[in-house]
Chains A and B, each alone.
Chain A
Amino acid sequence: MTEPMRNGQESAIVVVGLTKSFPGVRAVDGLSFEVRGGEIFGLVGPDGAGKTTTLRMLAGIMKADAGDAWVAGCDVVRDPEGAKHALSYMPQRFGLYDDLTVDENIRFYADLFGVDGGERQARSTQLLKAAAMSEFRGRMASKLSGGMKQKLGLVCALIHRPRVILLDEPTTGVDPVSRRDFWRILYELVAEGVTILTSTAYLDEAERCHRVALVHQGRLLFCDTPANLKAKLSKDVLSVTSGEPRSVRSQLEGAEGISSLVLTGDGVHVVVDDAARRIPELETRLKSAGVPFDAVQRVAPTIEDLFVDAVAGGAAGNA
């Protein structure tokens, strides 16, 4: 199978029916999606959705059982080494060396990608500045905070100016400030025409991507822009603010017209068939059960609502 020509120019990554099984589990199950050149594409799903396995296959470090995948125009299923000069992959776990300094780690990766001394100096100065890490060049990686480690990983991954970047949950366990730096660098890269495929378990982070693919148990649920995804949810979303969200959830579980419940920071999102009809019903039910709550109001759906509703609906068989 050859890469479809219409994608040859504009698609940085094409995945068609990609499948990978491990003993007892099908981690990736016929996954297909396309990432256009110059976009940030989010692979979104809970732990165990198959995100890491997908990224590893695209990075050419894991064999696919079936399916096809092209990265930067190169068939990575048949020629896993072919795209390695053009891509860079950042595993979820810190993949650099604790006993090397920031500069030594950068130099190592620059050498592996054949970046010469002058270019390395210029590029690393620029990247470290963007990462707000210029004063830590001589520091051992082991002495860096979690957020700085991830930024160093990104600097090493970018030293050779890759065309495609694969990031596996890059901001997990990263402090908010580093997280902001991180996303700023990603947006700057995209402005230069770099394509970014990032996985995340944070659905709020998915909203920062140009387009996202929601995956669950190795299968694709939806793939679209965050705005379109939210519009996809044909149901209404109610927000119940409460100091006891868990009691609210258990009280409302299985009630008529409610298709799913999502715990949020200060309450519960309730996906219902018809807001106008269900709000009074819901209030009555909670009052009679003596569950404390502040307000019930209709809100705009989030990606998380869509995801949870799709998964719950899929499980109930009435999506």
Chain B
Amino acid sequence: MSLTRLLAVARKEMIHIRRDARSLMIVVVMPVVLMLLFGYGVSLDLKGLPIFVYDQEGSQQSQDLLKRFEASEYFHVARVVTSYAAIGRALDDGRAKMGLVIPWDFSDRLMQGGPVEVQALVDGTDDNTANVLIGYAQAVVQGYSSQVQLDWLREHGQAMQPAPVSVETRTWYNEDLESSAFIVPGVLALVMSVIGAFLTSLTISREWERGSMEQLISTPVSAMEIMLGKLAPYFVLGVFDVAVCAAIAIAWFHVPFRGSYLTLATSSALFMIVVLSLGFFVSVIAKSQFAASQIALIITFLPAFLLSGFLFAIEQMPVVLQWITRIIPARYYVSVLKKIFLKGTATGMLGADLVPLAVFAVVLAAVATRSFHKRLD
């Protein structure tokens, strides 16, 4: 192995990257765009959902209930209408996620001691949102209901009694339940998949496609020197982008970072080896830039997006999919990221994630190395 030759290949690769606008964009701009996109654009929080209200009575009591809906940060009373049909239209065209109907005898029946029902019409096209809405609406109505009960007891001279059981909740790790804190660390896995696998798959297959590989392999440069020389620049750029993304997450999105930077670096390096090896392997097999880059995205970016637990919780997937996630390296990396960002889990406790990641890195690097020969056939 000659360092001169390895560096010669690496230097040439850097020139390719510097002169190729597409590669440069992917290395410099894409990480920032992905961070902002997922940090701002993808919000799993439901806040300020528009509701239409049909208050058939318009009494003091019905207004009190509506005020409670207004006061909740989850709802926004977009409009007060005067017919069922108006609510139906609003749900149809998406101007409202929920319609609330307060009956004409609302206050009378409250006076008589109830029971009284308010109607909530919910847009069920997105079942997750619908469930959350129903939960929020019930909580608001429940709160109002308790207040009415307390007022009644007080008026009748009875002692105030606190609710017999109540839950005192406190959320750990992501205290404000900000979805950006949940999502943003996982973006690192996406960025690395693109840089490591996508860009790498292009660079090797380009040598085959343009015919330069033929002349390259006729020189004394070894297969290992070609591979390491080609991958070294992407490794450095990938690690650099991880640092940029982590900085954006911490400084811009105020995602807490509670773990060790060394663990971040180690796990990122391991994952980088995984994606570089996959990208290299694919481009050796495919030998065309288009095919290689498509395959690279399908086997790294897509799983990192869908099956890593980055956006969708693995525990909620069908059992078969849960098994499949075990062979997705991104799953272990995302798991490490979430733990060191939010939980501050000690490195020693991350074995269940770091060990599989290291095994993937070693195995895939070996596969990549063995796949490449200085031969045309």
Contact = CB atoms under 8 A, between A and B. Distances in A.
Given A99-B15, A113-B220, 19 more contacts: A59-B218, A60-B374, A84-B218, A88-B218, A93-B214, A94-B211, A95-B211, A97-B212, A99-B19, A100-B12, A108-B12, A109-B219, A111-B4, A111-B8, A111-B11, A112-B8, A114-B2, A153-B215, A156-B215
A88 B220 CA distance: 10
A275 interface: no
Contacts of A91: 211, 214-215, 218
B8 A90 contact: no
A307 interface: no
A61 B375 contact: yes
A118 to B, nearest CB: 15
Interface in A231-257: none
B214 A100 contact: no
Among A94, A96, A112, residue most surrounded by chain B Cβ atoms (within 10 Å): A112
Interface string A94-128: 11111110001001110111100000000000000
Interface in B1-59: 2, 4-5, 7-9, 11-12, 15-16, 19-20
Interface string A139-153: 000000000000001
Interface string B361-377: 00000000000001111
A99 B9 CA distance: 14
A204 interface: no
Nearest to A116: B4
B121 interface: no
A80 B222 CA distance: 12
Contacts of B215: 89-91, 95-96, 153, 156
A143 B212 CA distance: 17
Interface string A161-185: 0000000000000000000000000
Among B12, B212, B215, residue most surrounded by chain A Cβ atoms (within 10 Å): B215
B212 A112 contact: no
A100 B377 contact: no
A99 B207 CA distance: 12
Contacts of A104: 12, 15
Contacts of A63: 375, 377
A84 B2 contact: no
Given A62-B375, A112-B219, A113-B220, A96 B214 contact: no
Contacts of A298: none
A60 B8 contact: no
Nearest to A86: B220
Nearest to A20: B377
A interface bracket (residues with beta carbon within 8 Å of B)? 20 to 34
A56 interface: yes
B218 A60 contact: yes
18 contacts: A61-B214, A61-B374, A61-B376, A62-B376, A85-B220, A93-B211, A94-B211, A95-B211, A97-B212, A98-B210, A104-B12, A104-B15, A107-B8, A111-B5, A111-B8, A112-B216, A112-B220, A113-B219
A183 B2 CA distance: 34
A59 B216 CA distance: 11
Contacts of B220: 81, 84-85, 112-114
Contacts of B376: 56, 61-62
A270 B243 CA distance: 76
B214 A108 contact: no
8 cross-chain pairs, A with B, having the tightest CB-CB distances, nearest first: A95-B215, A111-B8, A93-B211, A89-B218, A91-B214, A112-B219, A84-B220, A59-B218
Interface in B186-233: 210-212, 214-222
Among B19, B212, B218, residue most surrounded by chain A Cβ atoms (within 10 Å): B218
Contacts of B2: 114
A61 B217 CA distance: 7
Interface string A54-94: 00100111110000000000000000110011011111011
Contacts of A56: 214, 376
B370 to A, nearest CB: 17
Contacts of A108: 8, 11-12
Contacts of B12: 97, 100, 104, 108
Contacts of A93: 211, 214
Nearest to A93: B211
B30 to A, nearest CB: 21
A97 B9 CA distance: 12
B375 to A, nearest CB: 6
Contacts of B212: 95-97
Interface string B298-336: 000000000000000000000000000000000000000
Among B16, B210, B220, residue most surrounded by chain A Cβ atoms (within 10 Å): B220
A91 B16 CA distance: 21
A114 B5 CA distance: 8
A304 B220 CA distance: 38
Nearest to A110: B8
Contact of B221 (A59, A60, A107, A112): A112
A114 B4 CA distance: 7
Contacts of A109: 219
A94 B212 CA distance: 7
A59 B12 CA distance: 23
Contacts of A95: 211-212, 214-216
Contacts of B374: 60-61, 80-81
Contacts of B15: 99-100, 104
A108 B225 CA distance: 13
A71 to B, nearest CB: 11
